[in-house]
Structures are given as structure tokens and as C-alpha cells.
Amino acid sequence: MDNDHDNSTQGQNATIYTCPMHPEVRKTEPGKCPGCGMDLIPGKKDRQHGQHEGHDMQAMSPSFAKASAGTHMDHESAMTNPQMAKKMEADMRRRFWVSLLLSIPIFLLSPVGAFVFSAIGGSAYGGKVSLPDNFPVNWILLVLTTPIVFWTGSIFITGTYYSLKAKKLNMAVLVATGVLAAYLFSVLLTLIGSQETFYEAAALLVTFVLFGHWMEMRSRKGTSESLRALFDLVPPKATVIRDGKELTIFSAEIVKNDIVVVKPGDKIPVDGEVTEGESTIDESLVTGESIPTSKAKGDKVVGGSVNITGVIKFKATKVGSETVLAQIIKMVETAQNSKAPGQRIADRWAGRLVIVAIGAGLITFFSWYFFGNVTALTALTFAISAVVIACPDALGLATPTAVAVGTGIGAKNNILIKDAATLENTSRLTAIVLDKTGTLTEGKPKVTDIVGFNGFSEQEVLIYEATVGSGSNHPISKSITDEAKTRKLVLKQGNQLASIAGFGIKGTIEGKAIFSGKEKLLQNNSINTSAGRVEIDKLLNQGKTISILSVDGKLAGVIAVADTIKTTSKKAILELKKLGLEVAIITGDNQKVAEAVGKELGIDRIFAEVLPGDKASHVKKLQDEGKFVGMVGDGINDAPALAQADIGIAIGAGTDVAIETASIVLMKSDPYDIVAAIRLSKATVTKMKQNLFWAAIYNILAIPVAAGVFYNSFGLSLRPEIAALLMSASSIIVATNAVLLKRVEKKLSI
């Protein structure tokens, strides 16, 4: 009870961080608001507590649960949760449209609007827009602008309050400064009866900024669709056996060791191990493997996959956040909410630009007022324009938008990237080390050659070898037996079959003495192998494993077995070289086998006969040569090397250890996805750089113009509303450019 009380107290008194622009956002840790790029600031203590009812989404995604918990809303989580992202986008859209509709008559009644219509109307309108005498233009502008400033634009004012309270300067301060300066000064001018006002500047600034944020939220919301698709893979209900009875329960209520019944067409609700029945399972939506796999007793099933044919029962081994599907969702969420190294640079410059903007506004005003021989109104116009144009709105969006889109594309293509730093740094790879077995090869030995000697046919050799090895679990024997089954051959009856450790198998088949295995086994039993010398040596030189057969003391044949190379491996290696990477193989197999694979794939650097514990040292060796190294593997023995590498990549189903250690997980067992991951990283980094350019260039070029530096010389200046348009255009360009990253998808597959 004491522990419960302590935990409760801790939860009640936890500091809540909020977004200054979106005070409804609440988070228990400091961070960034992905919608506006602002720092979350400490606010009130959280005194609300209670249990959130569990359901699938909460069990699978902690951030989903937070985002769904009312006042415990997390903006970052919300933007990765499709439902909450939709609500937030709808709010920003509503604010924008209200602001736009009110801004249209404001613009038409403004001096700028009157000038435009005068130019259009010409003599037909007497050179100006005609309004009734004593028409209260400024008072109408005041009425129309006020709800824009204090309702649709309230997020900036509220944000400024919390930012200043936290002694921070950010984008909200800049926007609010520009808006309130234009609005309040316009109100003063209205009260004293002046005809010159800046209502249109305040209204359009709010409208343009809201539009920029709406576009950015749309781009981020679009990246959450892959998560929604993953959520939908889990069936709402499942059938389990408890106390000998079949019960239909919510999938979230399944606990470990429950026996789950799955019928044809049903989705698998959780991860487990088949205990009864046989079936074919479509795992493509989870693992990316397009070919359905056969499942029988002892085989593993993955939550989110679809049962195609038979009825199976399986024991639940992983539920809730432990499932493969939940881990995928968690990985995508983490990546989209993480900060890339490039963003840290942008954050520093955004903070400096706040000071630059405010400083530029003050310097501009005082310079023009005291030394420019202009009115206070003109000086203020230049000052407001300078502050507005210097607003670093787009700078805070530059990398988060690209990261969100990039990780979303990766998830859609079964490339799971754990964080933004990995997404960015993968583009820096100069060398990559590939585990052979299971990565470049299938990981399962297959029969490649069958040669008969002394009158024995290929079929006879295979029947004898398969009969001898039918009772063995050795991978070579199993591959030979599987080949016989594939060819639908009828095996003979074997007697007194016995394994000879390290050499092979001996026995009797239909009264004939049989030896099968290494050449040494036959030689030890006085069997001459010279008749097959040429073929045996040829197969050994190719790096294949062989089993030699003798029947009644006579050499009968040889079967070669090899771990076959994946169909896309050669293409993947070629493309990696085109990307400028040095490619190496690392394996525990003997030198000949490794060299044979390397020769076929065009890989020159071979690390063979490497013990599991030594793989990491070979990766470090490359790092010591000054290379930025990626390591690709699929097994427990690869984990140390994955951890040592600058970028660790787990391929295929792999093992839990490999996946936990790696920075990137390729859900398909396709080596070409290594190329896809690197291309995605390079494309994302390119978009980051482009976005940073577009986010900053308008500041560099437009601040002097807005401040009136060229006014006396060339008559060149920017009114506040035009400055607002240019500032917002930068944000729109950044968001649009990030979305264009989707064009890289066509380059992610062969």
C-alpha cells in the first residue's frame, strides 16, 4: 500500500510540459512540439490520476494510451496517432478558414486592397474604390480583425505568455509581437481618428502562419497512415480455450499461455506457438514476406498475420506491448518523435533568430524614427515588417517534417528505423559488413549437385542417401531428405542405421552395406574413391559441402549441398558498390565457402572462420581505418558486431537479440532492402538540407528589404502583410518539399 501511495503521489505532483502555442498539449517530459517545432515548457503540476482502461491500441502503443487519456495529451504522440492527428489537423484547418474568410473583407477595405482595385478598375472606377461618405472603414476593420487576433490567433498570444513566463524566446513571441504591434497600434490610430492602419497586416500574418502550420500538420498526419494500417491488423476479438470451453473475448484480454483458436480467414491476434493443427499463414503485412508460409506444431505465428487454410490452435507467448507488431509500432513512433542531429543545429539558429528578429525590429524603428526623417507610423511599418519576415517558423519544421515522412515511407516498405539520428547517419556509411548465412544466403542448405559413379544413376544415389539420413536431424541429411520428397521418390527400408560422430552414417539397405558422409569415412572402410576424384575435388573447390555414398564397398555417388545465395543478393551488392560503399563478408564458415560466395557476388574483402565473439573486432578494424561502418546480421552471434557498428542493421525475422541491438530492422529477408534503407536515408538528408535552405534564405534576403535598407535608394520596401506572406510561404515550401520525399519510393525496390 505504501508503494502504491508513493507512486500515486509522484504521478500527482509530476511537472507537466506544454506547448506554448498549444497549451492544451501536456507531457511529463521536456521536448519539441512537432506541429510547430517549439520547445515544451514546464507548467502546472499534474494532479489528475486514475487508470486508463486498457485496449488494443493502448497495450500496443504507450503513446497512444497517453494521447487518448483526455488531459494527458501528448502532442508528439498525437501526431503519430492517426485519430488524434486528425483532430489536431481539423482544429488548425478550422482556425485557418475562419481567419481567411474574415481576412478577405479586411484586405478589400485596406489601403492595399483599395490600391489593387483602383489599378484594376482604372477610369471605370474613377481611379479608386468608391465608398459612402463617412463610411467607418477602420471601425469595421477593428471588428473583423479582433476575432482573428484573439481567437484564431490565440495560440500565439497564449504561447507568448507561457514562453515569457518560462524566460524563453521562441517563434510564438515573434508572431505575437508582429500581430499585436500591428493590431494595437491600429486600434490607437482608429481611436485618434487616423485613416492609416495596419489591421490587414495583423489579420494576414495570423492567416498565413495558420496556413503554414495546417500544411505541416497535414504532412505529418499523412505519415501516420502506416501506423493506422498496423493497428488495424489486430482483430478486435479472438477465440480462446479456457477451462475446456471456447470463449470469444477481446483481443486485449488474451494473456500469456492462453490457447487461441484460429479458423481460415481469421487474423492472428497475438504472437504464439502452434500446439495443434496445420495451416498456411499470410505474414506479408507484418514481415513483408509475400509467400504464405506453412505452419505446424511447434512453429511460431505472428500477431497481425492472416490464417488462410486450416484450423490451428496456438499458445500465446507474447501479448500487448511484447508482440512483434507492437514493437514495430513503437519503433515507428519513436523514430518520428526523435530529433535528428541536423535539427539540433536548426534549434540553435532558431533561438538566435528570435533575438535577431526582435533586435532588427527595434533597430529598424529607432533608426528610421530618429535618423530617417520619417513619421513614427512609417518607422513602425518598417519595424513590424522586419520582425515578421525574421520569424523562424519554417526553421523549426525543416527536419521534423522530413524525418516524419522518411520514417513513414520506411515503415510502409518494411524498413523500420529506430530514431531520427539513425535515419540521418545511415547516409554517411562508407563501408558495410554483411553476415553470410541468412543475410546473403537462404540460411538453409539445399541440394545443388547429384553425381552417380560406377553405373549408379542420380535417382538411385538420392534414394540411398535420403534413406540413410531419414532418421537424422542433421541439416545436410534433412536437405537431402527434403530433395527426395520434392521429387516424390519412394525411399527404401533401412536397417541398423547408425551415426558416426564427425564422419557420417553407416547401415544396411536391402542387405547392402551402406556408408554415407565424408570421404575419410569411406577410406577408413577400405573403399576406393578415385573414380570420383575429379567431381569430388570440383565440388569442394566450389565451397560446397559433400556427402559421398558407397554401396556394398563400391563408390556409388556424391551429393553436394550448399546454402544457396538469395536471388537479390547480387543486385544488392552491385548497387551498394554504386553508392560508393566498400562491401565485406563476415562468416564462421571455412575460407573456401566464403571465397566461393564472395566470388559469385563480386565481394573481394572476406572475413572467414570468424568466431561469434570476434565479429565485433573485425567491424572495429574497419572503423580504425577511418570508415563509417554498417553491420548487417540476423542472429544472436551477430549482436556484438551490430552494437559495435556505427549503424547496426538486423535483417529478416532474425532474433530478438539482433533486433534489439540494431538501429534498423529490415522486416523482409531481402538484402536489397539494405540498398533501400541507404537510399531512403540519403533522400531524407537531401530534403533536410533543402528545407533548411528554404527556411533560412528568406530571412537572409528579405530582412534588409523589410527594414527599409533599400527604400531611399530604390524605393524598395515590404509592407507587413507582404512580409507575412513571404514568411508563411517558406513554411509551406518546407512542408510541401518534405511530402515530395515520397517520390523516392519507386527507388526502394528492384
- Tell me which residues are annotated as active site: 435
At residue 717, φ and ψ (nearest 5 deg) are -155, 170
What is the DSSP-derived secondary structure letter of residue 322? G
And the C-alpha cell for 464?
540411398
Return d(Cα 110, Cα 112) in angstroms, integer.
Answer: 5
Query: Cell numbers at residue 320, please?
Result: 500487448
DSSP SS3 for 360: helix
What is d(CA 497, CA 504) in angstroms, rounded to the nearest whole number? 11
CA dihedral 289→656→413→415, nearest 10 degrees, is -140
Cβ neighbours for 485, distance < 8 A, ≥ 6 positions apart:
none
Helical packing angle, 720-739 and 398-412, nearest 10°: 20
How many CB atoms sit inside 10 A of residue 8's CB?
A: 12
Round to the nearest angstrom and report the end-to-end CA distance of the chain.
60
Q: What angle do CA 51, 53, 58 make, to 5 degrees?
A: 105
- Between strands 647-651 and 629-633, the pairing is parallel
Strand partners, 247: 240
| Rounded Cα gap, residues 634 and 669, in angstroms | 9
List Cα–Cα distances, 168 to 14, 164, 180, 351, 711, in angstroms. 21, 6, 18, 9, 33
3-state secondary structure of 358: helix
| CA distance linking residue 561 with residue 546, whole number of Å | 6
Question: What pairing do the DSSP bridges indicate for beta strands 545-551 and 494-500?
Answer: unpaired
CA distance 392 to 390: 6
Q: Containing H/E element for 442?
A: strand 441-452
Name the β-bridge partners of 32: 39
CA 615 remoteness from chain centre: 28
Nearest-5° angle of CA 151, CA 157, CA 160? 160
Say if CB 545 and CB 528 are below 8 A apart.
no
Could you tell me the CA-to-CA distances from 530 to 256, 455, 537, 546, 551 in Å, in that order? 59, 15, 11, 15, 15
Using alpha carbons, list the distances in angstroms from residue 227 to 53, 416, 598.
Answer: 21, 12, 39
Which residue is listed with cell 508482440?
Answer: 323
Q: How far apart are CA 641 and CA 150, in angstroms?
A: 57
Query: Which residues lie closer than 8 Å to 22 by C-beta, 6 or more apart?
Result: 33, 35, 36, 75, 155, 159
- Joined grid coordinates for residue 358: 526582435
Three-state SS string over 264-308 comes to CCCECCCEEEEEECCEEEECHHHHCCCCCEEECCCCEECCCCEEC
**Eight-state DSSP code of residue 77:** H
In our burial notation (b when 16+ CB lie closer than 10 A, e otherwise), range 207-246 reads bbbbbbbbbbbbbbbbbbebbeebbebbbeebbbeeeeee
- Sequence-ordered alpha helix ranges (H) in 625-671: 639-644, 656-661
Distance CA 532, CA 630 (A): 44
